[in-house]
Chains A and B, each alone.
Chain A
Amino acid sequence: MFVVVHLAPGDPVDIMAGPALTADAAAQMRANFGLDRPLAVQYGRWLAAFATGDFGYSHTHQAPVRTVLASLLPNTLSLGAAALLGSFVLGILIGVVQALKHRTAVDGALSVVMLFFYSMPSFWLALMLTLTFGLMARNVWGWPIWFPASGMYSVDYQSLGSAARVVERLRYLTLPTLTLTLVLTAGIARFMRGSMLEVIGEDYVRTARAKGLSERRVIWGHAFRNALLPIATLSGLYVPLLLSGTVFVESVFGWPGMGRAMVEAVHARDYPLVMAGSFVFAVMVVAGNLLADVLYAAIDPRVRYD
């Protein structure tokens, strides 16, 4: 990763250069940013520092990378968590409905609607949602509830009471979460539908029915709970998808998170931030996989890790 980023032509000093930059000053800037040494040396120094927890200095943010990560990561995580929650709730609901209405018009229609959103470039969906529920809702249709186009909260946030703060954060979170949710739901719904169909065909569900339990108890008490188990493992595997999605959503909604910052860091040749960001992303993906494995083992008695 280090080499890949450094292979890109151009360095931070080039990007800052203007008509009043002399050659001497440029060389000095490189030295002060630590960019004048050979690549191997730079990598060695970076690695050594990294091992001690020093992630280096981000020249685009004029701050230590640690500070940058500390302020951006929670934002990405809260958006990601909300989207994960949203898409699983929605996906599970739709999946169950589809399974119950298997091979009917409802099943087909839901599939097509989910696929429709899944087929959209997420940045485009995000812009459409902003225009509809932000601009049009407020300026043209005059709805009492409309959603702001960007940010995590308004500039008057600090002066609000705690209850008002929660409401405000939810309001600002709605559109970004909705975008990610709509894109991610298709897969989850599909998985849930399959899982549910399989469970409904199992013996114990038939037994439950035979025992004369109400259909409601059979579906929610037995089938649903068992069908839910395999879904849990899916949540860990959705981490990479989610992280890719946040790049677009953070851009459109001006959400100050890691995804957008990574793209900008690559553009600006902010090597330490790119490296540290990739590292954090990789850790999150691995953690997601681990979570999936652990959940799987916890749920399925046949799997044991020695």
Chain B
Amino acid sequence: MRPSIHEFDMTEGVAERGTAHRAASTLAFVLPGLPQLLAGRKRGALALGAWVAVWMVLWLRWSAVRAALGGGRGSGAVTILGITLVAVWVWSWRARADVGPAAQERASDTWGGPVVVGVGALAAIVLAALLAPLLTDFDPYVGGSIRSERLIGPSSAHLLGTDRLARDVFTRILYGARISLTIGLVAAGLAATLGTMAGAVAGYVGGLVDSVIMRTVDIVLAFPRLVLLISIVAIVRPSVPLIVVILALTQWPSTARLVRGEVLSLKERDFIVAARALGMSRSRIITRHLVPNALGPVIVATTLGVGHAIVLEAGLSFLGIGLSPSIPSWGNMVAEGRENLLEAWWLSTFPGLAIVVTVLAINLVGDGLRDALDPRAHAP
């Protein structure tokens, strides 16, 4: 799995560390990521991809960038562009030494292929979301003339077509990524925090506290998540923050159960017993020793939770109880467009693909992490 370094060595003629290092430095300067990639480090591909992508944006969309620099729309995006550029370059420069045979050994299998693909796709989507104003000339909320530009199929003017109010679908997908990703990340993060805290306390303290927390967990888990969501959402029309909270509230119990199990088994281990013998406070034991050691499965569950939250948001939109339809979340776009699947297939197909690609990327990462952490773990 590592022929590249040999080819590289052969072009240099001598497989001597100094020469290789010097060449790598030069390369790292011009094309960050390439030397690492050639050395078999898969994350080099990410750096290289980001580097190329940023330059592509600068080159193809220079007019938008210039307008943004002149104080127009998207000055924040330009900053992000700059930060990405610098970050990739700095990483590559600092990692330029990591190209020798020793590094290959180190790097050989921390990240499997699917994980790198997943991370790469996710990075691309996040970057696209952040750079949205630079990537498109249209506004996600205001369309063109609804007489002449409504429901046009994919074309050169509108890459992915236009919707019923003559808005550009590509633009709405880009801006929608911001909303959908935020919902997924924050909801899963919140659920992980809540669940970890509750689970750790329940598992370590035990007794009445444990009973109260775990009975709550049991009750919440006794209802299918969707039914619970539906009843809550019927009371209030969710805004973005609210839907995040609601998704987190229905997600945390499973994390809590997971963490409690881990904590129960860790509790009797020597190092915790030792910590207790040393007179450490409960809260310190929980935060310093238990939680970090139980974190592996939580990270996996959370990663998968991000994808789940995005899909659920779409499901709620489909049932007509999701975010206000004027918000261009992916779920809203798919749900709205499905009615016209036969007349204007692009309305729901492209946002649908966006969801699938994103969630697939997230799940690939989660799956890979799980393989690394626990090969016999439970179902997603």
A and B directly contacting (CB within 8 A): yes
> Interface 1/0s, chain A 36-57, versus B by CB < 8 A?
0000000000000000000000
| A240 vs B331: C-alpha distance when bound (angstroms) | 22
* Contact status A191-B227, CB under 8 Å: no
Interface 9-residue window, one of A61-69, A115-123, A173-181? A115-123
Residues from chain A with a CB closer than 8 A to the CB of B230 are 262-263, 266
Residues from chain A with a CB closer than 8 A to the CB of B235 are 4, 7-9
B364 at the interface (CB under 8 A from A): yes
B310-341: which have CB < 8 Å to A? 311, 314-315, 318-321, 331, 334-335, 338, 341
Residues from chain B with a CB closer than 8 A to the CB of A262 are 227, 230
A5 at the interface (CB under 8 A from B): yes
* Contact status B355-A119, CB under 8 Å: yes
Interface 9-residue window, one of A25-33, A155-163, A205-213, A277-285? A277-285
CB-contact partner of A124 in B307, B321, B334, B362, under 8 A:
B334
Residues from chain A with a CB closer than 8 A to the CB of B207 are none
* Contact status B319-A124, CB under 8 Å: no
> Interface 1/0s, chain A 228-272, versus B by CB < 8 A?
000000100000110110011001000000000011001100000
Residues from chain A with a CB closer than 8 A to the CB of B221 are 240, 285
Q: A127-B338, A286-B222 are in contact. Are A247 and B378 (CB under 8 A)?
A: no
Residues from chain B with a CB closer than 8 A to the CB of A118 are 363, 380
Closest residue of chain B to A285, judged by CB? B222
| A116 vs B118: C-alpha distance when bound (angstroms) | 12
B373 at the interface (CB under 8 A from A): no
CB-contact partner of B380 in A186, A195, A248, under 8 A:
A186
Q: A111-B114, A120-B356, A121-B315 are in contact. Are A244 and B226 (CB under 8 A)?
A: yes
Least CB distance from B358 to A in Å reads 8
| A122 vs B307: C-alpha distance when bound (angstroms) | 13
Residues from chain B with a CB closer than 8 A to the CB of A111 are 114, 367
> Interface 1/0s, chain A 107-135, versus B by CB < 8 A?
01001100110111111100100010001
CB-contact partner of B227 in A188, A234, A243, under 8 A:
A243
CB-contact partner of A191 in B224, B364, B379, under 8 A:
B379
| A191 vs B379: C-alpha distance when bound (angstroms) | 6
| A285 vs B221: C-alpha distance when bound (angstroms) | 8
| A194 vs B377: C-alpha distance when bound (angstroms) | 8
Please, how many residues of chain A have a CB less than 8 angstroms from a CB on the other chain?
Answer: 49
| A305 vs B126: C-alpha distance when bound (angstroms) | 50
Least CB distance from B248 to A in Å reads 17
Please, how many residues of chain B have a CB less than 8 angstroms from a CB on the other chain?
Answer: 45
B301 at the interface (CB under 8 A from A): no
* Contact status B222-A248, CB under 8 Å: no
- Chain B contact residues: helix, strand, loop or mixed: helix
> Interface 1/0s, chain B 80-102, versus A by CB < 8 A?
00000000000000000000000
* Best-surrounded residue of B234, B331, B358 (most CB of chain A within 10 A): B234
* Contact status A198-B227, CB under 8 Å: no
Closest residue of chain B to A1, judged by CB? B231
Closest residue of chain A to B226, judged by CB? A244
> Interface 1/0s, chain A 267-306, versus B by CB < 8 A?
1000000100110011001100000000000000000000
B223 at the interface (CB under 8 A from A): yes
* Contact status B234-A124, CB under 8 Å: no
A187 at the interface (CB under 8 A from B): yes
B232 at the interface (CB under 8 A from A): yes
| A135 vs B222: C-alpha distance when bound (angstroms) | 38
| A116 vs B315: C-alpha distance when bound (angstroms) | 17
Closest residue of chain B to A269, judged by CB? B234
* Contact status A5-B231, CB under 8 Å: yes
Residues from chain A with a CB closer than 8 A to the CB of B315 are 121-123, 247-248
Closest residue of chain B to A188, judged by CB? B379
> Interface 1/0s, chain A 145-172, versus B by CB < 8 A?
0000000000000000000000000000
| A116 vs B231: C-alpha distance when bound (angstroms) | 30
A100 at the interface (CB under 8 A from B): no
* Contact status A282-B234, CB under 8 Å: no
Residues from chain A with a CB closer than 8 A to the CB of B224 are 240-241, 243-244, 281, 285
Closest residue of chain A to B112, judged by CB? A108
B66 at the interface (CB under 8 A from A): no
Residues from chain A with a CB closer than 8 A to the CB of B377 are 194
Residues from chain A with a CB closer than 8 A to the CB of B319 are 247-248, 251, 263
* Contact status B364-A112, CB under 8 Å: yes
B40 at the interface (CB under 8 A from A): no
CB-contact partner of B231 in A4, A123, A247, under 8 A:
A4
Residues from chain A with a CB closer than 8 A to the CB of B352 are 120-121, 124
Least CB distance from A51 to B in Å reads 19
| A247 vs B231: C-alpha distance when bound (angstroms) | 14
* Contact status A8-B364, CB under 8 Å: no
Closest residue of chain B to A262, judged by CB? B227
Q: List 29 A-B contacts (CB under 8 A).
A: A111-B367, A119-B355, A120-B359, A121-B318, A121-B331, A121-B355, A123-B314, A123-B338, A124-B338, A124-B352, A135-B342, A187-B378, A187-B379, A188-B379, A191-B378, A191-B379, A194-B375, A197-B375, A234-B379, A240-B223, A240-B224, A240-B225, A247-B315, A248-B318, A251-B319, A262-B230, A263-B319, A266-B231, A285-B222
Q: Which 4 A-B pairs have the closest CB atoms?
A: A187-B379, A119-B359, A244-B226, A243-B224
Other contacts beyond A124-B352, A195-B376, A278-B231: 16, CB < 8 A: A8-B234, A108-B114, A112-B114, A115-B367, A116-B360, A119-B311, A119-B356, A119-B359, A120-B355, A121-B318, A123-B315, A131-B341, A251-B319, A266-B234, A278-B223, A278-B227
